Amino acid sequence: MNFDIVIVGAGPSGLCFAQAVAGCGLRIAILERQHESLLANPAFDGREIALTHRSAQLMRELGLWERIDQNAISPLRDARVLNGPSLYAMNIEHRDSKKQELGYLVSNYLIRKSAYEAVKSSPSVTLLTEAQVTGINTDNAGAHITLANGEKIEAQLIVAADSRFSETRRAMGIPATMHDFGKTMMVCVMEHSVPHQHVAWEWFDYGQTLALLPMNGMRSSVVITLPASDIQQLMAMNETDFNQEVEIRFKHRLGTMQLVSTRHAYPLVTAYASRIVAKRFALIGDAAVGMHPVTAHGFNFGLRGADTLASEIRAAQSRGGDIAATELLERYERKHRLSTRPLFLATHAIAKLYGDDSIPARLLRAASLRIGNRIAPLKRAVANMLTETN
Ligand SMILES: Cc1cc2nc3c(=O)[nH]c(=O)nc-3n(C[C@H](O)[C@H](O)[C@H](O)COP(=O)(O)OP(=O)(O)OC[C@H]3O[C@@H](n4cnc5c(N)ncnc54)[C@H](O)[C@@H]3O)c2cc1C
């Protein structure tokens, strides 16, 4: 089999990248290990993805946005950061970004479904599912992949989008800095009696981190971060006990709460690849940069990287150039590092400070929220970062 680009991984980043390079005369293949039915009808996975304005625009351009039921898109008007038991909050308002809302909230399974449908409508993309890569290497002549069924695939360029634990990255000998925070996040949807006013919460409480992402109606995505054993207990509780437990954890600030979805747990591990490209090879999505979810930027960066690389490739293709040229890939790497590295590092510092319950850290946590709240340019910068508007 012969293609111009082979993408490993049909997650949201891999599918969006395929769609971004489709239709410019290139033959594209996506290799995915899951069964196709799981891509066509992805199951609810608990993740509600906060999308920036820039991501929403890219999704419109890729033909994903209109495939999503507009009633399932919830506006994120403002964001509130809380610390410890105090009611004092740092407020980031949509007005700080000169937009009607900071961004939008969309379920991950709906993003995956819309991306799958968009890709299926592109004749230049071949989707090979239940594919298991057993060999991969690249040289001056091309990129070569062997599958478990013995089939061999030749391409000009391989793009890996196979998650933050990317096996393809490892097979190419690219190290990644991985950080295990020793915590697990539990996500689920809950109804509550106090309205959320479309305000997202990030609450760095003592001993736990809570987040609330407002969905349409009287329901929110609830995110609880705790050591894995505590999360296991939460996951195992019957619904009545669970509802009570979450109400107490939220200090009844949302009134009565009721679980209305399945519960899902994710280990809190971040990853940053030490190199994002190699000969005829590039990493995108979480395989390149696996962000801490506290900034809600993982997929936003995935989309941005897919767009950056696709723009370079489309430009090379239109002038009859090499779509896997070293300079092209290095330009992509430079741009993607520049847009992701500062926030990746800042997030680690914030997560470290707000995960520290010692007395000096508690004082610093409270002081930095109050100082941040009073510095208008800082709040505007945070709002612009959250919305990805300049
Ligand atoms: C709780 C939670 C909340 C989040 N909230 C936000 C948010 O608000 N905003 C935001 O922007 N981001 C958020 N994220 C991050 C976002 O979900 C990820 O950044 C995004 O899903 C990454 O997409 P991806 O396609 O790169 O990787 P993945 O979604 O991990 O997909 C990888 C794909 O590759 C396939 N695959 C893996 N290995 C192989 C292989 N060897 N061969 C073939 N196929 C393979 C997998 O089956 C899968 O289909 C959140 C994450 C979590 C856990």
pLDDT tens sequence across 304-322: 999 999 999 999 999 999 9
- Give the residue-averaged pLDDT of 351-374: 81
Cα distance between residue 31 and residue 29, in whole Å: 7
Q: Residues 76-95: pLDDT tens digits? A: 999 998 888 888 778 888 87
Question: How far away, in angstroms, is 273 Cα from ligand 1 center?
Answer: 15
- Give the residue-averaged pLDDT of 239-264: 97
**Ligand 1 pocket residue status of 288, Cβ below 6 Å:** no
Question: How far away, in angstroms, is 68 Cα from ligand 1 center?
Answer: 19
In this prediction, residue 389 has a pLDDT band, given cuts at 50, 70 and 90, of low
Closest atom, ligand 1, to C-alpha of 299: 11
CB 64 within 8 A of CB 188: no
Cβ neighbors of 177 (< 8 A, separation 6 or more) are: 271, 272, 274
Cα distance between residue 118 and residue 140, in whole Å: 33
Question: How far away, in angstroms, is 291 Cα from ligand 1 center?
Answer: 10
**Ligand 1 pocket residue status of 42, Cβ below 6 Å:** no
Q: Is residue 94 exposed (0-12), middle (13-18) or buried (19+ Cβ within 10 Å)?
A: buried
Cα distance between residue 335 and residue 301, in whole Å: 12
- Name the residue at shortest CA distance from atom 39 of ligand 1: 162
Straight-line distance from the first to the last Cα atom of the chain, in angstroms, rounded to the nearest whole number: 44
Which sign, positive or negative, has the C-alpha torsion 290, 293, 298, 301?
Answer: negative
Q: Is residue 5 exposed (0-12), middle (13-18) or buried (19+ Cβ within 10 Å)?
A: buried
In this prediction, residue 357 has a pLDDT band, given cuts at 50, 70 and 90, of confident
* 66 backbone dihedrals φ, ψ, rounded to 5°: -70, -15
If one residue of 53, 106, 134, 162 were mutated to test the ligand 1 pocket, choosing by the most ligand atoms within 8 A of its CB, it would be 162
* 136 backbone dihedrals φ, ψ, rounded to 5°: -150, 130
Cα distance between residue 363 and residue 49, in whole Å: 32
- Give the residue-averaged pLDDT of 350-366: 82
Q: What is the pLDDT of residue 58?
A: 97
Cβ neighbors of 37 (< 8 A, separation 6 or more) are: none
If one residue of 13, 166, 235 were mutated to test the ligand 1 pocket, choosing by the most ligand atoms within 8 A of its CB, it would be 13
Closest atom, ligand 1, to C-alpha of 290: 19
Amino acid at 336: H
Q: Is residue 366 exposed (0-12), middle (13-18) or buried (19+ Cβ within 10 Å)?
A: middle
- Name the residue at shortest CA distance from atom 53 of ligand 1: 266
Question: How far away, in angstroms, is 240 Cα from ligand 1 center?
Answer: 31
In this prediction, residue 390 has a pLDDT band, given cuts at 50, 70 and 90, of low
Q: Is the pTM of this model over 0.85?
A: yes
To the nearest 10 degrees (0 to 180), the angle between helices 326-354 and 298-318 is 170
Closest atom, ligand 1, to C-alpha of 46: 1
**Ligand 1 pocket residue status of 10, Cβ below 6 Å:** yes
In three-state secondary structure terms, 205 is strand
Closest atom, ligand 1, to C-alpha of 9: 34
Whose CA is closest to 214, among 76, 106, 110?
Answer: 76
Question: How far away, in angstroms, is 241 Cα from ligand 1 center?
Answer: 31
**Ligand 1 pocket residue status of 254, Cβ below 6 Å:** no
